[in-house]
Amino acid sequence: MSAPASALDAFRLPELAGHLLNRLRGERTRVHAITNAAAQTLTANLLFAAGGIPPLIVASVEVPAFTSRSAALLVNLGTLDADRRAAIPQAIATAHAHAKPWVLDPIFVDASPPRLKFARACLAGRPRVLRCDAGEFAALADGDATPETVQAFAKAYGMIVALTGTVDLITDGVRIVRVENGHSLMTRVTAMGCAGTALVAAFTALHSSALDAAAAALLVTRVAGAIAARDAKGPETFQPAFLDALFNLDTPTLITHGRVS
């Protein structure tokens, strides 16, 4: 059962993030992650470290069964091969049929017209959350990624847009939440953003305010990244330190270190 939606004050977001992380650990929330080949291992490890369970099934004959038995669906377009092109529409349809929230990560749509076309078809399936960077958003929206255009896009599609960057901006078209944690080493490890989107999907299954859930998930990964960077010597030592930081993260740490507005 999802927690009630609320117009959460940004300064209470760290407390919610800790609450949802504890629920994820207690309930072992299952997220069906159709993600790219480079992101599969880190996505699975991130969800396991956070407390979830990550089926990564892409065989179209099995997709409906796994999506229907999961609490949420992640669709990442990083590897847009024939198997995933067949699996993704089935997964989205199954998520709708079973009232499961799903999250779209349209990676590299700004680099490939066929990928952009496919992503726009996915948007017609009304994801609960769109997680993208400024370039990907600009391609999807045919406009610059200003706060105003991001708000308008979110409102037009009736979804949450989580625009990630140096400062993450999350909006439902009315409210805006900004998450300012993180570290530059997070951009030096492949698939960090892709894997983090799986936590967004998990949290949307646990809280009926998708805006608050998405912001809370991004806060968790950003705080874990900042903690991991303290002792990391570079990307190779950062990734395991990040997973350890996520595994050990608690509510007091989120409250102490969370920087949101």
Q: How many domains does the chain have?
A: 1
Nearest to 74 by CA among 44, 108, 101: 101
- The answer to the question of residue 4 being in a domain is no
> What distances in angstroms separate CA 165 from CA 12, 114, 156, 170, one per listed residue?
22, 25, 22, 11
3-state helix, strand and coil shares in percent for the chain, rounded to the nearest 5: 55, 15, 35
Is residue 202 in a domain? yes
99 domain-assigned: yes
User: For position 10, what pLDDT does the model report?
Assistant: 60
pLDDT band at 6 (very low <50, low <70, confident <90, very high): very low
How deeply is 106 buried, as exposed, middle or buried, from its count of CB atoms within 10 A (0-12, 13-18, 19+)?
buried
pLDDT at residue 8 in the model? 61
Are residues 48 and 83 in contact, defined by beta-carbon separation less than 8 angstroms? no
What is the per-residue pLDDT across 59-85, written as a single tens digit (0 to 9) for each? 999 999 999 999 999 999 999 999 999
Strand order across the beta sheet in which 102-105 lies: 31-34, 72-76, 102-105, 129-132, 160-163, 168-171, 176-179
H-state helical runs in 59-191: 63-68, 82-97, 113-123, 134-141, 147-157
pLDDT tens profile 34-54: 999 999 999 999 999 999 999
Residue type present at position 141: A
The predicted model scores a pTM of 0.94
CATH number at residue 35: 3.40.1190.20
Domain that holds residue 150: 14-257
Task: Examine residue 6 and state whether it is found in any structural domain, yes or no.
Answer: no
User: Would 218 be classed as within a structural domain?
Assistant: yes
Give tens-digit pLDDT for 133-149.
Answer: 999 999 999 999 999 99
In a domain? residue 1: no
Residue 2 placed within a domain: no
Residue 9 scores a pLDDT above 80 = no
d(CA 43, CA 194): 7
- Cβ-contact 33, 10 below 8 angstroms: no
d(CA 156, CA 179): 23
Flag whether 72 is in a domain.
yes
